[in-house]
Structure 1
Amino acid sequence: MTKHTEIQLKHYYEQGTIGPDLFDVVQTTTPEPQEGEVLIKQTYMSLDPAMLGWMMDDHDSYIPPMTLGEVMRSNGIGEVVASKHPDFAQGERVMGMMGWCEYAISNGQGLTKLQPGLNEEMALSVLSLPGLTAVQGLLNIGQPKSGETLVVTGAAGSVGSIVGQLGKACGLRVIGVVGSEEKADWIVNDLGFDGAINYKTDNLAAQLEALTPDKIDVFFENTGGPIQEVIFNRMNTHGRIVVCGMIADYQAEQPRPGPNWITVIKQRLSIQGFAMPDHLQDAPALIQQLMPYVQSGKIQYRAHVLEGLVSAVDGLNLFFSGENKGKLMVKL
């Protein structure tokens, strides 16, 4: 019997740094596929901010919490090394939920075949959750119109960078909020954003006013934090706010209070939160919406690749320190 490594959740996350004390790294017998199953050797594994919520003992969330002792959830890419499933053949590359493990068993549900020649880093960076989230949030909920102004927070991240590029492709003026001058330079000079604000600098309101002469029509919220209110107060009448993530509050003892609802009434704002598990059944249609932008070269990406399965344990902290650059993933 062959063995492989997997990482299981040992304790629920409460607050502070994510570290080895939350996990068990174990050697376990590599399973054999039964009828209707495939065995996948994972090659790339996605790390996402949503994982923090999955690791909490929160039964009111949009997705049930993990069970202690369960292999840590994650999306990944791998090669089918053994198959007893009629739809998957040995040697095919597939993408889907696999977990923090070297080998995974699947019944095929939720697996997507990768086209020959498609780069794994591009698949995880664009055609996986980041791209699906950007399309659903901006195009389907935000309903952007050419000539409008879009502000996106977390603009150098895997989702925000695609949101901004989709906005530009739709004819919008796009302003991104980031956490460093390097990230500001990247989204403006490489991705084509019209402007950027480093939220760690001073005079945020004045900076935003200068960059949004026609105010803001669509606000794609990825992060929360003090700049949220600054953006909120500059929304146009009938503006749309798409709430995707609040990473600034995930580790806070007390989340920041929301903006005053009087502005919602005066400006007749539409505010909608969304979570991708509600829309995964629409993935083929979302990819179909996204592909014309990808094929025309309007979507660029950068991948932040960590090496080795165990690097995922400390790697999640990069989301909260702001040190990740692009789509965070692990190469096994």
Structure 2
Amino acid sequence: MSTYTAINLVKRPTGGPIGPDLFEKVEKTIPEPADGEFLVRQTHMSLDPAMLGWMSPDTDSYVPPVELGTVMRSSGLGEVVSSRHPDFQEGDRVMGMFGWQEYALSDGSGVNRLDADLSPEAVLSVMALPGLTATKGLYDFGHPRSGETLIVTGAAGSVGSIVGQLAKAEGLNVIGVAGSDEKCDWIVNTLGFDGAINYRTDDLAARLDELAPDGIDVFFENTGGDIQPLIVERMNAHGRIVVCGMIADYTGKPKPGPNWIPVIKKRLTIQGFTMPDHLHEAPTILGKLMPHVQSGRIQYRSHTLKGLDSAMTGLNLFFTGENKGKLIVEL
């Protein structure tokens, strides 16, 4: 009888590195689909900062935490290898929430078929959660207008890099915040950002004054950190702040937030945002994104880890900043 490997979450993170001690590898029997089901052999998994929140015990969030003793949650793509579902056939390439496992049984809920010509890297880097998140967050909550100034943290990451490129396509002055000189060089000289700030080495206040002398209109927040209050202080009247991620605070004690007096004085709009609230809008969101992709205005890069086991330590790359582009596990 054939088996496959899955990885269960068995402990909650306590603030240290994410490692194999939080997980358990298990062998399972490859199932046969029942009527209305199909079996997917997963080939690529997405690693995302949101997973750090899913692993926590917090029940007061936009999705329930992953239950201990169950397969770790993640999106991925693969091939249908057996089907008793009328809408999915053997050989179909599909994407869905398949978890950290080599095979997944599905009834089709939340699963989408993929164009056979698209590479896994393009799908997971642009057309999956990163592209949906960037497009929805920027247009529907950031309300970008040509001539304005936008700053995005985590600018070399999968979401931030797309936010900046979309904003450039709309005629904005775009500043990116990243964690290395190499990443800063990439977003300016390859992606076309107008300026970059290395949050590890730059004089943050001085660089903000240099790159945004007329203030900031849109702040797309992915990371938190010391630069956050400095950006809020420089927001223009009626500026918009889209709070998409706070990775700097995910595993430790959150730092105090920025002074709220500028929020009043500048009449700022602050919107917390998570993509799962809007997944039903995916076709419409992709309709906004795809013209930019097809025109070549959206570039990306991916950072691929090899083997299912690599997921157990791969999430640490989000803390160290060592990942370069969309983090993907190739099974």
- TM-score, reference length from structure 1: 0.99
* Aligned residue type for 1:153: T
* Aligned residue type for 2:99: G
- Give the number of aligned pairs: 331
Equivalent residue, structure 2, for 1:17: 17
Does 2:270 align with 1:261?
no
Q: Please give the secondary structure, in 2, of the residue aligned with 1:27.
A: strand
In 2, distance between residues paired with 1:233 and 1:262? 9
Equivalent residue, structure 2, for 1:249: 249
In 2, distance between residues paired with 1:116 and 1:100? 23
Q: Per-residue deviation at 1:66?
A: 1.1
Equivalent residue, structure 1, for 2:285: 286
Equivalent residue, structure 1, for 2:276: 277
Q: Per-residue deviation at 1:251?
A: 1.8
Q: Per-residue deviation at 1:299?
A: 0.4
Q: Per-residue deviation at 1:277?
A: 1.1
Q: Per-residue deviation at 1:267?
A: 0.4
* Aligned residue type for 1:74: S
* Aligned residue type for 2:274: A
Q: Structure 1 stretch 148-157 or stretch 257-266: which is displaced more? A: 257-266
* Aligned residue type for 2:317: L
Q: Per-residue deviation at 1:14?
A: 2.2
CA contact (8 A) 2:95 2:111 kept: yes
In 2, distance between residues paired with 1:201 and 1:17? 23
Please list the CA deviations of residues 186-211 of structure 1 after superposition, one character each: whole Å capped at 9, or x if unmatched.
Answer: 00000000000000124211111111
Structure 1: any 5+ residue segments left out of the alignment? none
Q: CA RMSD in A?
A: 0.7
Equivalent residue, structure 2, for 1:192: 192
In 1, distance between residues paired with 2:324 and 2:283? 28
Q: Please give the secondary structure, in 1, of the residue aligned with 2:71.
A: coil
Q: Per-residue deviation at 1:288?
A: 1.0
Does 2:36 align with 1:36?
yes
Equivalent residue, structure 2, for 1:169: 169
Q: Per-residue deviation at 1:92?
A: 0.7
CA contact (8 A) 2:148 2:216 kept: yes
Equivalent residue, structure 2, for 1:302: 301
CA contact (8 A) 2:52 2:251 kept: no
* Aligned residue type for 1:308: G
CA contact (8 A) 2:6 2:28 kept: yes
Please list the CA deviations of residues 278-332 of structure 1 after superposition, one character each: whole Å capped at 9, or x if unmatched.
Answer: 1111111111111111011110000000000010000010001110100001001
CA contact (8 A) 2:220 2:244 kept: yes
Q: Per-residue deviation at 1:224?
A: 0.3
In 1, distance between residues paired with 2:92 and 2:234? 50
In 1, distance between residues paired with 2:178 and 2:203? 15
Q: Per-residue deviation at 1:261?
A: 1.4
Matches within 5 A, 1:83-232: 83-232=83-232
Equivalent residue, structure 1, for 2:76: 76
Please list the CA deviations of residues 252-287 of structure 1 after superposition, one character each: whole Å capped at 9, or x if unmatched.
Answer: 2x2111112111110010000011111111111111
Please list the CA deviations of residues 14-51 of structure 1 after superposition, one character each: whole Å capped at 9, or x if unmatched.
Answer: 21111111000111101111111110000100000000
In 1, distance between residues paired with 2:196 and 2:203? 13
In 1, distance between residues paired with 2:315 and 2:206? 33
In 2, distance between residues paired with 1:114 and 1:27? 28
Q: Please give the secondary structure, in 1, of the residue aligned with 2:189.
A: helix
In 2, distance between residues paired with 1:176 and 1:229? 16
Structure 1 stretches (4+) deviating beyond 3 angstroms?
none
Structure 2: any 5+ residue segments left out of the alignment? none
In 1, distance between residues paired with 2:211 and 2:119? 36
Please list the CA deviations of residues 222-242 of structure 1 after superposition, one character each: whole Å capped at 9, or x if unmatched.
Answer: 000000011111100000000
In 2, distance between residues paired with 1:51 and 1:201? 28
Q: Per-residue deviation at 1:213?
A: 2.2
Equivalent residue, structure 2, for 1:7: 7
Q: Please give the secondary structure, in 2, of the residue aligned with 1:174.
A: strand
Over the matched positions of the two proteins, sequence identity in percent amounts to 67
